[in-house]
Amino acid sequence: MKKLLIPFILITAALFQSCRGPEGPAGPAGLDGPIGQTFEVENVNFNTGNGFQYRTTFNNANVDFLESDVVLVYILWDVDNGAPIWRLLPQPIDMPRGIIYNFDFTPSDFTIFIDAPTSVNLSTLSADFTQNQTFRVVALPSDFNSRKSGEPVDYKDYEAVKKHFNLDESKIQTISAN
């Protein structure tokens, strides 16, 4: 038993031996999390002249958009006691006829449009749905989920997205579609 105790003590002492020396340099700075860019487009009018669509480039909106980024678009649906109500697109306008607000984007531009079956005459839509619309566009890095831990976010809820990604309302720029 004594013969086993001496090697055991030596091995234990070697394992718990620590080295001392100067602390090494700090490592590179890590990612702070997603940097979302948000802007608002006001006075959007949909009509036959523009094909019931609004298109602009991210450069026109002063947004640095990477090819891998993603876009969320919300429409100002209503205002309740001074609080804006934002709804995520696609958003139905007239479900029985299949009419919706929708959007698409490329790395250089985005389009917001009214979509419907070809049998629907969009010029019959009320001005409430086609004139002076306001949209909020949120551009996020595509890897935001891997860089942001915590609870999943409900993307339909603009307020939840704003809170989750720390979007600063005071920095939202507004551009006019006209």
Q: Give the burial class of 42: count Cβ atoms within 10 A of its Cβ; 0-12 exposed, 13-18 middle, 19 or more buried.
A: middle
Cβ atoms of 136 and 73 closer than 8 Å: yes
Residue closest to 136 by CA, chosen among 115, 153, 161, 114:
161
Tens digits of residue pLDDT in 82-123: 999 999 999 999 999 999 999 999 999 999 999 999 999 999
Grouping H, G, I as helix, E, B as strand and the rest as coil, residue 4 is helix
Tens digits of residue pLDDT in 32-47: 554 678 999 999 999 9
Write down the pTM of the prediction. 0.76
Show Cβ contacts of residue 115 under 8 Å, excluding neighbours closer than 6 positions. 90, 99, 100, 101, 102
Tens digits of residue pLDDT in 10-35: 676 666 666 676 777 877 765 555 46
Grouping H, G, I as helix, E, B as strand and the rest as coil, residue 88 is strand
Cis check for the bond before 22: say yes or no (omega within 30 of 0): no
| Beta-bridge partner residues of 95 | none
Cβ atoms of 69 and 76 closer than 8 Å: no
